[in-house]
Amino acid sequence: MRVLITGAAGFLGSHLCEKFLEGGYQVVGMDNFITGRPENIVHLLGRKDFRFVEHNVTEYTYVEGPLEGVLHFASPASPIDYLEMPIPTLKVGSLGTHKALGLALAKGARFLLASTSEVYGDPQVHPQPETYWGHVNPVGPRGVYDEAKRFAEAMTMAYHRAHGVDTRIVRIFNTYGPRMRASDGRVVSNFIVQALRGEPLSVYGDGGQTRSFTYVDDLVEGIWRLFHSDRVDPTNVGNPGEFTVRQLADQVIAKTGSASTIAFHPLPEDDPKVRQPDITVARAVLGWEPTVSLDEGLDRTIPYFRELLQGVPACTA
Ligand code: UDP
């Protein structure tokens, strides 16, 4: 059994490569390193069951040999990245998804799309079930990511309906853990890095907005189960534990024992006010639910950043 994972050198992609290798698959990893990092996969390079291809999936994509699965995880995913790279973000979600689906069709492979809670936009239904169609500003700064992923979902369903490709769509909620970049820009990594450096924690807005944070191992287990299930409709995979950004800041300060204070910054445009997955479907269909609390996940993530920060220049907030 052999799978292609696009975005293999990214935070999630690299964990997913390991999961599939552990599960007995041969893995072909693909990345163009626009946000992925060679360090994330260097330990896999010597293995006979792992092959790496440096390639932009937005361009014509072909892989020699059989493939039973294509998992499309390539995309900038941090707001600061997709704001800096709006066109590559739109292209990998649209053209890249098309190329990856075309390859899955040609190989008779199952296809799994990494979608996102951002398809719900700034939600008016809370928590968000898969049946909610969302509340997205297509022309705002986040539209480049949100609409690319919405298009990717539509394209995935079209390949399923028109070409009979066996497809899966996972809607991923805010995920954190080892292998995030210090400069990733997302809230968990920013706060930990700032706390460890004794810098003020950059809270956007009044910090009253909420997110639900999933530890990477839980997410990867959910994706593994979804891939091996027969569920075609989109599926939320996320931890329903909901926290305000301010609560997260206080928790990170307490856990790191940092003397950092809080600095308030303007809220980015269209920043969703609330976010929490309804995981009724994942529980029922995949028998999945998260097992790692935010408290425990932070305990596993902080040591990774402590080590990473030795010798890394300051991050942006
Ligand atoms: N945020 C923050 N400080 C930061 C980074 C993010 O207060 O340094 C806030 C951001 O405004 C949002 C939440 O934390 O409300 C989650 O942001 P993130 O970029 O992690 O992901 P998002 O859920 O917005 O995609």
Whether 45 and 158 share a structural domain = yes
Residue from 211, 214, 252 whose mutation best tests the ligand 1 pocket (most atoms within 8 A of CB): 211
Give the structural domain span for 202. 177-211+240-276+292-308
pTM of the complete model = 0.97
Whether 142 and 251 share a structural domain = no
Whether 121 and 183 share a structural domain = no
Domain-located, residue 285? no
Q: How far is the CA of 187 from the centre of ligand 1 (A)?
A: 5
In the chain, which residues have pLDDT < 70?
311-317
Count how many Cα atoms sit within 13 Å of the Cα of residue 13 in the half-sphere of its side chain.
32
Whether 110 and 95 share a structural domain = yes
- How many Å is the Cα radius of gyration of the chain? 19
Q: How far is the CA of 304 from the centre of ligand 1 (A)?
A: 20
Whether 146 and 255 share a structural domain = no
The C-alpha atoms of residue 151 and residue 145 are separated, in whole angstroms, by 10
Whether 8 and 144 share a structural domain = yes
Which residues have C-beta within 8 Å of that of residue 143, sequence separation ≥ 6? 136, 137
Q: What's the pLDDT at 34?
A: 97
**Helices 187-197 and 294-308, axial angle in degrees (round to 10):** 60
Q: Tell me the two tokens of residue 103.
A: 């390859």
Query: Does the annotation mark 145 as catalytic?
Result: yes
Ligand 1: which residue has its CA nearest to atom 13?
187
Q: Tell me the two tokens of residue 208.
A: 């009253």
Ligand 1: which residue has its CA nearest to atom 4?
187
Whether 126 and 61 share a structural domain = yes
Domain-located, residue 83? yes
Residue from 83, 175, 187 whose mutation best tests the ligand 1 pocket (most atoms within 8 A of CB): 187
Q: How far is the CA of 33 from the centre of ligand 1 (A)?
A: 23
Domain-located, residue 314? no
Q: What's the pLDDT at 316?
A: 46
Whether 41 and 122 share a structural domain = yes
What is the CATH number for 188? 3.90.25.10
- Of 82, 145, 159, 176, the catalytic one is 145
Q: How far is the CA of 221 from the centre of ligand 1 (A)?
A: 24
Domain-located, residue 181? yes
Q: How far is the CA of 57 from the centre of ligand 1 (A)?
A: 28
Domain-located, residue 228? yes
Whether 21 and 106 share a structural domain = yes
Domain-located, residue 59? yes
Tell me the per-residue pLDDT of 219-273, one tens digit each, with 9 for 90 and over: 999 999 999 999 999 999 999 999 999 999 999 999 999 999 999 999 999 999 9
Q: Tell me the two tokens of residue 181.
A: 């970049």
Ligand 1: which residue has its CA nearest to atom 23?
174
Domain-located, residue 167? yes
* CA proximity to 193, closest of 80, 36, 310: 310
Number of domains making up the chain? 2
CB count, 10 Å around CB of 259? 8
Whether 112 and 249 share a structural domain = no
Whether 186 and 78 share a structural domain = no
Counting from 1 in the atom list of ligand 1, the atom nearest the Cα of 77 is: 25
Q: What's the pLDDT at 119?
A: 98
Domain-located, residue 282? no
What is the CATH number for 23? 3.40.50.720
Helix/strand/coil (H, E, C) string of 221-239? Answer: HHHHHHHCCCCCCCEEECC
For the sheet containing 26-31, what is the strand order? 50-54, 26-31, 2-6, 69-72, 110-116, 167-172, 235-237
Q: What's the pLDDT at 311?
A: 63
Whether 103 and 153 share a structural domain = yes
Pocket of ligand 1 (CB under 6 A): 79, 174, 186-187, 190, 202-204, 209, 211, 245, 267-268, 271, 317
